[in-house]
Structure 1
Amino acid sequence: MRVLFAGPPFFGLLYPLVPLAHALRAAGHDVLLGTCGSAVQRTAEAGLLAVDCAPGIDPDALYAQMERDRRGKKPPAPGERGAPPKGKGFSFFSEEMADRMVATAESFSPDLVVHTPNGVVGQLVAARLKVPSVLHAVGFGHTSAHVGMMNDALAAGYERHGLAGPDPISAWLDVAPPSMSTTREPRRWFQRFVPFNGGANLPHWLYEQRSRPRITVTLGTVRPVVDGVSPMKWVVDAAREINAEFVLALGGADLTDLGRLPENVRPVDWLPLSSLLAASDAVIHHGGAGTTLTALDSGLPQIVLGEGADRPANAAAVRARGCGIVPDGPDDLTPDLVERLLSDTDLREAASAVAQEMAATPSPGETVQRLVELARTGGELR
């Protein structure tokens, strides 16, 4: 079987696809991933074959500029002059990748296409080739209505390729813990979220004996590009009053805005988050989908800021399950909040229960045979 993955060019949305891609390869199937920007090299570093479907563009820079332009401005009303198609900002360069990905797919001849909710270019390709479309969820914030909105933003691409619109999704892979899932899609399959954050030469200090708890602090890969690191200044200020080690995993961003770091704050450039959390006691983060799910898989209590994009939905799921804290506003960002993160046994027990639930969910390897059958039946399997 041949499987084409359509990957958005942002690591937090791309990396959740990698475990399934590896499971397919381990089972003897051919896998090709279409994306663009620096995600092409990241895919190659993950041991997978990739094609740059929008050469010459820098998605990180373009998205950061789009966010800066949007802030402080009243957006045009739908249909008003200057208004982009609804969903355009979150279809993550599907339009730019569409033509080259269709051409690649026509040569590769996949039996099915796997894509994220934002990677609707994959749904276009599947419709063009008349093969099943498999949506691989990445968090808690997307529904079929969101996917439809992003497909609406790709209307020109569908028209160019002689299509009235997308075909129905054949399977929706839900990687949320079942007790936390908000998805009610009719063709939902639960699949275990397996963290993948790339490889690394891990430092020795990660495994040395510790005399105080360790808290990992991260903003993911997109937010530091857009907002800088200032959203985590309160954590650095709180660290001065707390007997704990704080690891700032901020992707090598400029830390100048954080001021002078106290001795118990350790900045790191890049470490796989799952490995870092395995050697930590708690986590504070922005609420990105991949970060939230990796934190849940770790069984650690978490503070989720949950601002912007799908982050409020991810944060709400954590709060509702009782395995993390979501601050209501700036007044909540205090040393007492961090002390609670470390001392609240109810949070820790709920987080551990969620991790056990995730471990019992069918693995990507178990999904492979279902996908084979889906391809064999042309998407009719339920």
Structure 2
Amino acid sequence: MRVLFVAHGPAHVPWIVPLAWAGQLAGHDIRVAARPQSVPQVTAAGLVAVQIGTPEAGDAFIRRAAPASGERPARLPPDWPSGPLGWSEERRLRWSDQVLALADSLADDLVEFARYWRPDLVVYDVGSVVGLVAAAAVGVPALAHTWCQPVGLYFLHEDEVPPAYLRLFERFGAQPRIGTDTWIDCAPPALRTAHPVPRIPMRYVPYNGAGEVPRWLRREPDRRRICVTGGITTSTVDEFGAQLLREAAEIDADIVLAVARPEVFRQQKLPTNVRLTGWVPLTALLPTCHALVQHGGAGTLMTALAHGIPQLVVPEGTDTSQSLCGDQVEQCGAGVHLRAGQRTRPGALTAALDDLLGQEHYARRAGEIREEIAAMPSPAEVVTQAEALAAAG
């Protein structure tokens, strides 16, 4: 079986690596379509990449142009996340515009490759609706790969569909796919939200990229250890990391500042209980830690939960995917969400960490969710289900 994976961005590539490798180990032929910014992550994982789009293609996603009159749907699906675990209507519409603009810039390359390679199945990141277009263009089933929040584009009724979505399919003579799809969902029961799209649960297997275990990480820490990280596509940690350094001396723990841009902190005076490491795979570091401080990345959130580590989420803004992660951590009881308006108060980070480390229920709940994740079907089991779907056509 030939399976075409479609990645969304550099921070999302790690999500699809375990399933792609499970497919490859089962004997299937795997290709991963990715924008130029994401190709290095794909090839570093030992997978075969197919570059789609240009380095500038992502500009349509990052800098969304205002849509023309009538381009937006009359309404979005009523079960999009809203309220305490969701985006505002404006944010959801803006996301719709961004995803469609990005898909439009990638569709020609992806459909051209799909028509040449003829996959039997397309597995696409829920943010890469272009994967659904490619599957329709070659007439094969598609599976979306997501976690918990239905923040991609799915339309259950025709009056929800913007003309731009229809044109993506019509451009290639394909029938627009409207209605319930099937999603592979890595969210454990504690984080799962209700929506009508059928889901195939899959165990989250942390993959944080290649790396080496440094010598200081080969022995047990002398006291409690806190990991501070900020992902690879956001600079939020630059702000709250600097704030944490100012308060670090008051924290009774060793702090590991494992960040993608260590140069931001090299000019600052580091307290004696802070170690600046640069990038270290979280799968090597987190098992030695008692807590995690992070920016609100979904992959970081799930990696911590897979290891049973409580976390403090410090997102940028109040209407972002990062703030959704903070809400999820708070709602499931595995950590603390320090909102943008709260963290600027002097001592706010220290107080939140004291709460996280001082209240045993956070660690206990994180441990319970770790067990939920471990009990979910493995990527190898999901490959079997994908095989059946492809065979059914």
Alignment of structure 1 residues 233-272 onto 2, 5 Å: 233-256=242-265, 259-272=268-281
Aligned partners of 1:4 and 1:112 also within 8 Å: yes
Report the equivalent of 2:360: 345
Matched, 1:158 2:157: no
| Residue 348 of structure 1: how far off its partner (Å) | 0.6
2:362 counterpart SS class: helix
Per the alignment, in what secondary structure is the counterpart of residue 33 of structure 1?
A: strand
Partner of 1:24: 23
Q: Work out which of the residue numbers 137, 143, 146 in structure 2 matches 1:134.
A: 143
Residue 188 in 1 paired to residue 199 in 2?
A: yes
Query: What are the within-5 Å matches in structure 2 for residues 244-323 of structure 1?
Result: 244-256=253-265, 259-308=268-317, 309-323=320-334
What is the rounded CA distance, in whole Å, between the counterparts of 1:271 and 1:180 in structure 2? 26
The residue number in structure 1 matching 2:32 is 33
CA distances 1:235-265 after superposition (whole Å, capped 9, x unpaired): 2222111121111122025325983221221
Look up the match of 1:3: 3
Structure 1 window deviating more from structure 2 (115-124 vs 256-265): it is: 256-265
Cα distance in 2 for partners of 1:55, 1:364 equals 31
Deviation, structure 1 residue 199: 1.3
1:120–1:151 Cα contact (<8 Å) kept:
no
Structure 1 contact 305–327 (Cα < 8 Å) conserved: yes
Amino-acid identity (%): 31
Q: Distance in 2 between matches of 1:45 and 1:150?
A: 37
One-letter amino acid of the structure 1 residue matched with residue 362 of structure 2:
L
Give the corresponding residue for 1:202.
213
- Superposition deviation, residue 51 in structure 1: 0.7
Q: Alpha-carbon deviation of 1:185?
A: 3.1
CA contact (8 A) 1:120 1:147 kept: no
SS in 2 for 1:303: strand
Contact kept in structure 1, 2:136 and 2:169, CA below 8 Å: no
Coordinate RMSD, CA, aligned: 2.9
Aligned equivalent of 2:190 = 179
Contact 2:209–2:281 (CA<8 Å) still a contact in 1? yes
* TM-score, length-scaled by structure 2: 0.84
| Aligned counterparts of 2:94 and 2:6: Cα–Cα separation in 1 | 21
Report deviation, 1:346.
0.5
Q: 2:154, 2:179 within 8 Å by CA — same for their partners in 1?
A: no
Q: Tell me, what secondary structure is at the counterpart of 2:127?
A: coil
Counterpart Cα distance in 2 of 1:151 and 1:268:
46
Residues 104-159 of structure 1 show CA distances to partners (whole Å, capped at 9, x for unaligned) of 11111111100111111101101111111101103535266589989865554333
Residues 24 and 300 from structure 1, CA distance in 2 versus in 1: closer, same or farther, beyond 3 angstroms?
same
Q: Tell me, in whole angstroms, the C-alpha distance in 2 between the residues paired with 1:94 and 1:147.
A: 19
Greater CA drift, 316-325 or 158-167: 158-167
The two structures have a TM-score, normalised by structure 1, of 0.86
1:79 is matched with which residue: 48, 69, 84?
69
Spell out the pairing of 1:79-98 with structure 2 (5 A cutoff).
Answer: 79=69, 87-90=96-99, 93-98=102-107
Q: Distance in 2 between matches of 1:153 and 1:196?
A: 35
Determine the structure 1 residue equivalent to 2:127.
Answer: 118
Measured in 2, the distance between the counterparts of 1:249 and 1:96 equals 34
Cα distance in 1 for partners of 2:165, 2:66 equals: 19
Report if the CA contact (8 A) 1:91-1:118 is conserved.
no
Give the Cα–Cα distance (whole angstroms) in 2 for the partners of residues 170 and 375 of structure 1. Answer: 14
Inter-partner Cα distance in structure 2 for 1:190 and 1:204: 37
Equivalent position SS for 1:317 = helix
Q: Describe the SS at the equivalent of 1:158.
A: helix
**1:126–1:133: 8 Å Cα contact kept in structure 2?**
yes
Unaligned runs of 5+ in 1: none
- Residue type at the aligned position of 1:174: D
| CA deviation vs aligned residue, 1:46-96 (integer Å, no higher than 9, x gap) | 01110111144374xx48973xxx8xxxx9587299x99862324583222
Question: Are the structure 2 counterparts of residues 351 and 202 from structure 1 closer, same or farther at C-alpha, using a change threshold of 3 Å?
Answer: same
Classify the secondary structure of the residue corresponding to 2:312. Answer: strand
Residues 1:64 and 1:154: Cα distance change in structure 2 (over 3 Å): closer
Residues 288-307 of structure 1: CA distance to partner in whole angstroms, max 9, x if unpaired? Answer: 11111111111011001234
Which residue does 2:42 correspond to in 1? 43
**2 CA distance for matches of 1:302 and 1:6?**
30
- Cα gap change, 1:286/1:153 in structure 2, threshold over 3 Å: closer, same or farther? farther
How far apart, in 2, do the equivalents of 1:136 and 1:365 lie?
Answer: 15
Gaps (5+ residues) in structure 2? Answer: 72-89
Which of 344, 360, 366 aligns to 2:381? It is 366
Q: Distance in 1 between matches of 2:17 and 2:357?
A: 32
Range that drifts further, 314-323 or 354-363: 314-323
Offset from partner CA, 1:1-41 (integer Å, 9 cap, x none): 1100010132x211100100000011101110001123112
Q: 1:228 to 1:347 in 2, by over 3 A?
A: closer
